[in-house]
Amino acid sequence: MTRAVEELSQIPFSHLIGAPMKAAIEAQALAAQSTVEFIQKVGFKQPAAGAADALFTNPDQDADAGEIRNVTLEYTKLDENNTKSNFSLTVPLLSIVPIPYLRIDEMTIDFKAKLTDSIVRNTNTSFSLDTSIGGSYSAFWSPVKFDFRVNAAFKTSTSNQTSSTRDYSMEIHVRATQDDMPGGLSRILDMLESAITESKTA
């Protein structure tokens, strides 16, 4: 097993993948809690100072959201007698504001690891050869003498060079969308719409 494979096996993939997934789940829970807080603070009248929080203080009891908050509009139009008259319109606030329902629709985790080990081996070889020949004689009847010398040298050297490259990158893509409204709240909003009243003030 190469060094690169050994290092790759030591990467904590369970943490790299599990931590973003846990964060997405916590974000989803936080989004749901934010929706509840939005409905409570926008759609209902706030309790008196010092009163307990209607939805979060007593987890063992049924929540008492309180009284619906309305918005009243005053305007002038022609009445049934074709006479200009003043009217007021009372509308539950929750029926005219968009309620945030964010949902983690998709999460993509891209992890890239590039581990490269390379070994470069350099071998240098040199060879040298030196020869010399010499001869002499003293008389024609004397034997001829020759000197022959050879010098040879062979050299070799080897060097190793090791290089390592490590490149890690991680990308997390999270897409949140507006989720469909729960059926229970949808029915409540339908009833709130039916509670819209118009009255003649003058």
For the chain, the structural domain boundaries read: 3-67+102-121+168-178
174, 24 Cβ separation under 8 angstroms = yes
**Looking at residue 117, what is its pLDDT?**
65
Give dist(CA 181, CA 35) in Å, integer. 11
Asked if pLDDT for residue 62 goes beyond 60, the answer is: yes
pLDDT for 167 equals 78
% pLDDT > 70, the chain: 64
What is the model's pLDDT at position 50?
Answer: 46
For the chain, the C-alpha Rg in angstroms (whole number) is: 45
pLDDT at residue 144, rounded to an integer: 53
How do residues 7-52 score in pLDDT, each as one tens digit? Answer: 777 778 888 888 888 888 898 888 888 888 888 888 888 765 544 4
Q: Terminus-to-terminus CA distance in the chain, angstroms?
A: 91
Judged against a pLDDT cut of 80, whether residue 148 lies above it is answered with no
Higher pLDDT: 65 or 74? It is 74
H/E/C letters for each residue in the chain? CCHHHHHHHCCCHHHHHHHHHHHHHHHHHHHHHHHHHHHHHHHECCCCCCCCCCCCCCCCCCCCCCCECEEEEEEEEECCCCCEEEEEEEEEHHHCCCCCCEEEEEEEEEEEEEEEEEEEEEEEEEEEEEEEEEEECCCCCCCCEEEEEEEEEEEEEEEEEEEEEEEEEEEEEEEEEECCCCHHHHHHHHHHHHCCEEEECC
Q: Give phi and psi for 66, each to the nearest 5.
A: 100, -155
Give the Cα separation of 47 and 45 in Å (integer). Answer: 6
pLDDT of res. 201: 82
Q: What is the mean pLDDT of residues 116-142?
A: 60
For residue 177, name the pLDDT band (cuts at 50, 70, 90): confident
pTM equals 0.59
Q: Give the whole-number percent of the chain exceeding pLDDT 90.
A: 1
Average per-residue pLDDT for the chain: 76
**Amino acid at site 5:** V
In angstroms, rounded to a whole number, what is the distance separating the alpha carbons of residues 91 and 68? 10
CB burial string 39-65: b at 16+ within 10 A, e below:
bbeebbeeeeeeeeebbeeeeeeeeee
92 exposure class (CB count in 10 Å sphere: 0-12, 13-18, 19+):
buried
Per-residue pLDDT tens over the stretch 111-123: 887 776 666 666 6
